[in-house]
Structure 1
């Protein structure tokens, strides 16, 4: 049986980011194994996030903007982001950067193959790859799939398809991305477009849906074509790249430390914000906390969980999911009021869970009162019935 000090199960965004932070800590001397299904050599996804100042991946940020355009039900216009920048990171740039950085780790092994088994044993966490068991005192697992049918929880999917297109005409403003453009048929769901321009003739156009059912591929493509024809003066255009993704939006309780030697990370560890699907920045923050904990204690790391503020923010996520899942109020109008009645910086702080309790109350006060009150009562009723 092979042995390592640390095993990272899964080499996606969370697994690679963890290896990156380990490489910049005193833990870099440990023997580390990173296991992934296959080598990542395609531009298969895009991460967008907001940030103050420069972050750890500034060298590979593909585009960044200080203002965004929003199109809602009763409010549309440009939003100045203040101290924040909206940043775009391409998957292929992230993978190349990570693999170049991790090559500098003298004690890192990367193995490609399917993890067929993951278990906590007395002597450590064990993964089985290619029929071979491998053990380490700590296994960081990003392969665990969140349950999507747990009673008394809310479970939506954020699913999206995007095209990088090159157009016949100048039709994009490189300084103005469109974020959450709701000028499309909602079909009683939450449906919107992103338009992230690279230059005047090239952009990522992405169709995003919050609901419970993934569509056939043709449905996304039809909606993308309709949007481009209706809202972009593109002329003819060529599809350069395609991306597709599914992100769970769930308030199911997730244990980051399900057993003695296993730590779940990324979406598997509940790092995705349930009400929005945003994952990238929370993952970076939480992983840095794990590495700091491991440096200090020299044991399997446990992230310190905040008290009441964290609980209150989780409750707000459940309320919003209840509104969306039960269609208590049109989703496009919910997000319109969020941006119309709050400064963009407050919205971003709220999504990053950096807001104060007073700011949380200001966010709550900006929402439609009746539908959200119904959601609160429904949540209280559900909890009371199952005490």
Structure 2
């Protein structure tokens, strides 16, 4: 049975990012195996995020913008995002960049395979991949599914379908992506489009929904066609790429350390922000903290400010409660947030970088009645 220092189960964004940060630390000589059932050789997803500084993947960003457009119930037009940039990173560019970097290290192995079993033992993390057993001092697991049927918690999905289209006419402003456009039928949900221009004739147009069930392929496509025909003067267009994804929006408790030798990362480790589905930047931050702690102490436990983390988790649960029980139209909630607060403050709030006072100021700008009811319902569920 082969022994490694670390095994990374799941070679997607979280797993590859972890290996990338390990390779840049004093742990770079550790023997590492990365296991995934897919080769990650296709552009299977796109990540968009805001950032003030130069990030670790700046060389492979596909696009970045200094302003964004927002279309809500009473607010339309460009948002002043201050010193932030809105950035777009394609999956294939990320995979190729990180794998090329990791290929420099002979101690890092890749294996295509399916994880059949994972277990914490006295000797280490035990793994079976395609019927072959192996063991490691630590297993970092991004494959564990969340329990999205726990009635004591809130369980929504963020699901989306997008097209990269090429128009016959120049119709896109390359300097102004549409970050959220609520000018679509809400159907009692939170539904919006975003438009990411590549050039004057090419853009990704993506339809996003927050609710608890997926649509049929035809429903996503019909909404995309209706939006494009109504709000983009393409003169006709062709579809060159299609993207589809589902992200859990859940406040179900997610233990990062289910065993002494197993650490969950990515969505499996609770890195996804429950109320928004934002994952990429939170994963990068959490993994850097994890590697720093592992290098300093030999243990992967991250230091967490318990009180603030609990409070911010409560705010997530309240928003999920309001959305899940349809206590107030979602398009109006997001409009109020961006209309009554500087967008940079909202970005910091969503990145959990705001103070308690700032959090309270932001929450005072949402509809107080529905959110008060939601807060009492969340507390009731947690107490009883």
* TM-score bracket relative to the smaller structure: over 0.9
Question: Are 1:330 and 2:329 counterparts?
Answer: yes
Q: Deviations over 1:170-201 (max 9, x none)?
A: 10000000011000000000000000001100
Residue 361 (structure 2) aligns with: 362
How many angstroms apart in 2 are the aligned matches of 1:195 and 1:177?
6
SS of the residue 1:28 aligns to: coil
Structure 1: which 5+ runs fail to align? none
Shift, 1:309, TM fit: 1.3
Residue 54 (structure 2) aligns with: 54
Shift, 1:307, TM fit: 2.1
Shift, 1:115, TM fit: 0.6
Residue 318 (structure 1) aligns with: 317
Question: Are 1:63 and 2:80 counterparts?
Answer: no
SS of the residue 2:161 aligns to: strand
Shift, 1:30, TM fit: 0.6
Alignment of 1:216-227 (within 5 A): 216-227=216-227
How many angstroms apart in 2 are the aligned matches of 1:21 and 1:267?
18
Residue 84 (structure 1) aligns with: 84
How many angstroms apart in 2 are the aligned matches of 1:255 and 1:36?
22
Q: Where does structure 1 differ by over 4 angstroms across 4 or more consecutive aligned residues?
A: none
Residue 160 (structure 2) aligns with: 160
Residue 379 (structure 1) aligns with: 378
Residue 105 (structure 2) aligns with: 105
How many angstroms apart in 2 are the aligned matches of 1:334 and 1:363?
12
How many angstroms apart in 1 are the aligned matches of 2:254 and 2:145?
11
How many angstroms apart in 1 are the aligned matches of 2:130 and 2:156?
34
Q: Deviations over 1:84-126 (max 9, x none)?
A: 0000000110011011011011200100011111111110011
Residue 197 (structure 1) aligns with: 197
How many angstroms apart in 2 are the aligned matches of 1:235 and 1:75?
28
How many angstroms apart in 2 are the aligned matches of 1:65 and 1:26?
35
How many angstroms apart in 2 are the aligned matches of 1:38 and 1:247?
19
How many angstroms apart in 2 are the aligned matches of 1:366 and 1:198?
34
Residue 259 (structure 1) aligns with: 259
SS of the residue 1:26 aligns to: coil
Q: Report the TM-score, using the length of structure 1 for normalisation.
A: 0.98
How many angstroms apart in 2 are the aligned matches of 1:204 and 1:279?
20
Checking the alignment, whether the CA contact within 8 Å between 1:29 and 1:106 is kept in structure 2 is no
How many angstroms apart in 2 are the aligned matches of 1:377 and 1:131?
49
How many angstroms apart in 1 are the aligned matches of 2:365 and 2:33?
47
How many angstroms apart in 2 are the aligned matches of 1:347 and 1:165?
30
How many angstroms apart in 2 are the aligned matches of 1:116 and 1:239?
38
Shift, 1:223, TM fit: 0.5
How many angstroms apart in 2 are the aligned matches of 1:21 and 1:383?
37
How many angstroms apart in 2 are the aligned matches of 1:334 and 1:134?
50
Alignment of 1:179-258 (within 5 A): 179-258=179-258
Provide the aligned C-alpha RMSD in A: 0.7
SS of the residue 1:308 aligns to: helix
Residue 346 (structure 1) aligns with: 345
Shift, 1:323, TM fit: 0.2
Residue 34 (structure 1) aligns with: 34
Q: Deviations over 1:125-182 (max 9, x none)?
A: 1111110011001000000001001131000000000000100001000000001100
Q: Report the TM-score, using the length of structure 2 for normalisation.
A: 0.99
Shift, 1:236, TM fit: 1.0
How many angstroms apart in 2 are the aligned matches of 1:379 and 1:42?
41
Structure 2: which 5+ runs fail to align? none
How many angstroms apart in 1 are the aligned matches of 2:284 and 2:196?
23
Checking the alignment, whether the CA contact within 8 Å between 1:165 and 1:238 is kept in structure 2 is yes
Q: Deviations over 1:58-100 (max 9, x none)?
A: 0001100111000001111110111100000001100110110
How many angstroms apart in 2 are the aligned matches of 1:310 and 1:94?
30
Alignment of 1:8-19 (within 5 A): 8-19=8-19
How many angstroms apart in 2 are the aligned matches of 1:72 and 1:140?
41
SS of the residue 2:198 aligns to: strand
Shift, 1:53, TM fit: 2.1
Shift, 1:346, TM fit: 0.4
Residue 297 (structure 1) aligns with: 297
Residue 147 (structure 1) aligns with: 147
SS of the residue 1:293 aligns to: helix
